[in-house]
Structures are given as C-alpha cells and as structure tokens.
C-alpha cells in the first residue's frame, strides 16, 4: 500500500489506541484515516480494529450504527486486522464476554478475554511468526485475550511456548492477541497492507 493508492485504509476510532495504529500505517506510506461512521467505513479499502475494551467497543459500535455495516464489510471480504480487543471483536465465539456482549465475527475461533488473570495482566515475549518473516517478533501483551480453539476455517500464525495461539488468519481477516503498534515492529501492519493491496489488484 502506497501513498498513491486511491482508497484510504481505516482504523476504527470508537475507542482504544486507534491513534497509534494510524501513526504506524501513515509511517508505512498508507493514507490512514479514523473511521467512526458507516459512510467513512464505506470509503476504506481495509480496516484495523485496535486494542481497547471489547465490551465498550461493542456497545459503541451498536450505539453509532456501526455494528451491522462492520459485519457486512467483513462478510464482503474487506481486509480487517484486529489487535487485542480487535481480535475479540472478530472472533465468532467469545467465551467470557459480559452479559449481552456481542462480537462482529468472521474468525472461526473461540477467544477468552481475560486469559491471563490479574497476576499476569501484561507481559512481553519473542514469537516466531513465519508468515511475517524469519526474525522473531517481540510481542507485548496487555490484558490480552487468548485464542482457546481454532476452527477449520482459520489458521494459527503464532503460538506461545505452551502452545496457546496468539495470532490467526482467515482469508482477509487477521487477529493478534498482542500490540505490534507499540513496539516499532511494523511487519504485521505490512502484512495487513499486503492483503489490502492484493484485494485492490484482484478487483482492478
């Protein structure tokens, strides 16, 4: 994705660390814009759903009339990358959501929101992720979810040493439990922009 691309990429800006994602994407040469309304969503070639609080993000998406347009965009093949709370939003199944919490769905996975408990709210580790390169990626987990099970449609991209899955892909959807937007390692954002570019080229 280059600055010359006609359609911008969006970052859902209802709640969470959307500014950090916008900065990373712009640093990679993408025209990155905040998305808060259905009309803005309709103009983007891809979308990042940032970290934050998934239950709040869910409520705001419904309050602002974004939930159904987001589901439709995902179903239509829009490239979407969800980090932390964004992964929860993309999961088909949320195992410990609060009462009434809904997800957008699209990823054939089951996730647990409060996977590490109060004693391990945040931690860092190096992960091997062949899909984005040979060098290990330093990953930061902040009150992170975990992928407890991966359905037939989704593919694990990264696992902790104990085998728990922390990154997945399914078609044009990517989800990570961790926050690459704060580490300076841009490979997952580049991976996402590659999906955006591939879809644009296939539609040309």
Our answer to whether residue 179 is catalytic in this structure is: yes
The CA dihedral of 167, 17, 66, 177, to the nearest 10 degrees, is: 10
**Phi, psi of 157, rounded to the nearest 5 degrees:** -110, -25
Which residue in the block uniquely carries the two structure tokens 């891809």? 46
Our answer to whether residue 198 is catalytic in this structure is: no
d(CA 161, CA 128): 10
**Phi, psi of 82, rounded to the nearest 5 degrees:** -110, 130
Our answer to whether residue 181 is catalytic in this structure is: yes
> Is 114 strand, coil or helix?
coil
Choice among 4, 40, 84, 148 that is catalytic: 84
**Phi, psi of 46, rounded to the nearest 5 degrees:** -170, 165
Choice among 20, 68, 181, 190 that is catalytic: 181
Return the number of other C-beta atoms located less than 10 Å from residue 173's C-beta. Answer: 26
Q: Which residues are catalytic?
A: 84, 179, 181
């Amino acid at each position: 994705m280059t600055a010359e691309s006609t359609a911008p990429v969006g970052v859902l800006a209802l709640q969470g660390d959307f500014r950090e994602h916008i900065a990373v994407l712009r640093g990679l040469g993408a025209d990155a814009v905040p998305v808060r309304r259905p009309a803005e969503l309709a103009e983007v070639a891809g979308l990042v759903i940032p970290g934050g609080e998934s239950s709040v993000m869910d409520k705001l998406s419904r309050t602002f009339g974004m939930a159904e347009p987001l589901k439709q965009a995902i179903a239509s093949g829009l490239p979407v990358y969800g980090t932390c709370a964004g992964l929860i939003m993309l999961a088909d199944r949320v195992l410990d959501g609060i009462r009434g919490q809904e997800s957008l769905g699209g990823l054939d996975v089951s996730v647990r929101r409060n996977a590490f408990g109060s004693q391990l709210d945040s931690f860092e580790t190096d992960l091997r992720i062949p899909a984005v390169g040979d060098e290990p990626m330093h990953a930061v987990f902040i009150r992170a979810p975990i992928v407890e099970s991966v359905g037939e449609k989704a593919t694990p991209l990264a696992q902790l040493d104990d085998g728990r899955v922390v990154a997945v892909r399914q078609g044009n959807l990517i989800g990570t439990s961790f926050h690459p937007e704060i580490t300076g390692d841009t490979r997952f954002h580049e991976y996402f922009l590659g999906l955006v570019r591939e879809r644009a080229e296939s539609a040309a």
